[in-house]
Every structure is written in C-alpha cells, then in structure tokens.
Amino acid sequence: MEIPRRKLGARGPEVSAIGLGCMRMSFGQKPLPDKKEMIALIRKAVELGINFFDTAEVYGPYTNEELVGEALEPFKGQVVIATKFGFEMYPDGRPGWVGLNSKPEHIRRAVEGSLKRLRVEAIDVYYQHRVDPNVPIEVVAETVKELIREGKVKHFGLCEASAQTIRRAHAVCPVSVVQYEYSMWWRKPEEEIIPTCEELGIGFVAYSPLGKGFLTGTIDESAKFDEVDIRSRIPRFTPENIKKNLVLVELLKKIAARKGATPGQIALAWLLAKKPWIVPIPGTTRLDHLLENVGAVFVELTREELQEIDNVLSEIKIWGERYPEDLERMTYL
C-alpha cells in the first residue's frame, strides 16, 4: 500500500502523511550511527514512499544537512527537504551553539551554507529554528520573503513560535508551515497554535510525536541515557517521573492490542486523525522502527476510539517538564 499524501495547509507542499526526522542520524547520541547505513536508511524511506525529510544546520552542526544532502541527491525533484536557521554556532565546529541569531545577514549566510550542504537549488521549507527575541519577527519574515523572491527558498516556516508571533510574521511573508512538539504527552499546541493554523491555512509538522521514544512502550524507570542524549537532562525522563507517566503507555498498549498494532503506531495514528494537514516526523536510525512508523499510516482509529483516548488523556497528569529550563525559555516567544 502506498503512503497517502497530505497538503501542508493552503500554501505548503504536498508530502507523505508521515515524514522522517533525521537529527539523531548524526547528532545527539554516542556513538553516532554509521554514515553509510544512515544514507541507506534515508533511501529506503524514499523507497517506502516517504518524501518529507527534516534536518537543521545546528544538527552536528552541519553534518546532518551534509548527510541528508548526499542521501537524497539522486531524488531531486521527488522529495521535500526542510531545514532550519537561527542559531549562532561555535566557530570551532563543536556541538551546541553560542546563542540565537536571526539577523538578516546571518540568515543569508546560513541559507547559502544549507543550499550547498543539501545539494539543492532551493530549500523546500525554511524554518526559523527558534524565535530570536533580539530581532523583530517582521525583519526575519522580510528577509525570508526576499530569499523566496530570489528563488533560494520555497516555503517559510516557524518552529515553537507563539500564536502572536505567527500572525506578525504571516502579515509580512505568508507562513506556509509551522513545527512544534506535539504528541499525546505534550498537547499545548491544541490551545492556540492549531486553531491559528486552521484560521490562517498553515500546515503543522509534529516533531517528537512519539514523546522522544516514551510512547513506544520501550522505556521504563530503569532506562539509562547517555550524557549527550537530551533525555538525560529532561525532567520528564527522571526514573520517578517515568514511573508515574507509564499510565499513558498502558492506555496505548490496551488500544494497540485491540487494533493489532504497536503503542507507537497508535500514538502516531492519533496525531494523524487530528487534522488532515498535520504531518508527524518521527526520527529513527533503525529500519525496523522506520517500517513500524510507516505502518501507523494504515491504522485507522474510529471516532469512538479517538473520543475514548481523549477522555482518558484529559484525566491523566503528565509528570515533569518537557525540556530543561534553558531550552524551554526559547519556546513560544
């Protein structure tokens, strides 16, 4: 069966109903996966019908864009690549960043680097990775508008911006796509962001749709995370909070057993059922997980099942913050 396509809002590209987040293929874990194996995995995703791939210049930095660019070069014109700008990297190339930087001259330098690494003539979706409080969003939007006019960018996107910021940016340069963390255990976008997207015709991309692995049912309170793994710093992943949050996994397991699916597939199917212009981008470095995620597209939840899930979710308290404080400060600006 072929993966169905979805239009990302009124102006966004048409993409496979599920995408592939590529970050962890070259960033955020130790040891890093073998580059040749990751290129093969990305190409397998294309073979399976995925045509939407997510990266960013800060992943590595730079090495993830290089990986994605090399892997997808044979499929020019057949795939949609999204990348991001907005961080000032260390000059010596070490992981991490100095701070946020969305000044026009920095965006222009960033786009040239991304085009070269991705081996493309134009970036399909170009997100501001995080809102820079020191640069008015109107200035950022005007800069991206110029890049679109110059043919270097096709669609303007925002990540983790507030609804007010989306509106201000959209008034200058139409926002085609936004990206936020969204899953059964982080539903904040439902408050203002998704209604704003619906009103303005903006597509929504959900990152961490499996709760950074938690919603797959493979993590319990005995889990250990390497120091380079972001989960080692996330309050939600302390042993005591994992133990409390397992009640959500039990719900997923119960419905999965009924549907002949996995907990992760139910979590993704729930997201896909929310709106026809929402596309999750689960990340993986394993073929078995890629196949499992693709299978979620074909799991149909009835209206009654969705209501059952939402009723239970409304009664479940999620323990622990979703990010360490320094990262959370960069969101919803």
Separation between Cα atoms, residue 234 and residue 237, nearest integer Å: 6
The two structure tokens encoding residue 170: 């959209």
Closest to 186 in 3D by CA, of 224, 215, 222: 215
Separation between Cα atoms, residue 212 and residue 200, nearest integer Å: 29
Separation between Cα atoms, residue 324 and residue 333, nearest integer Å: 16
Block residue for tokens 């026809």:
276
Catalytic site includes residue 126: no
Closest to 18 in 3D by CA, of 210, 306, 299, 293: 293
Plot region of 86 (φ>0 → left; ψ -120 to 50 → alpha; else → beta)? left
Catalytic residue among 59, 127, 180, 182: 59
The two structure tokens encoding residue 259: 């549907």
Separation between Cα atoms, residue 244 and residue 314, nearest integer Å: 16
Looking at the DSSP bridge assignments, the partners of residue 278 are 204
| Residues known to be catalytic | 59
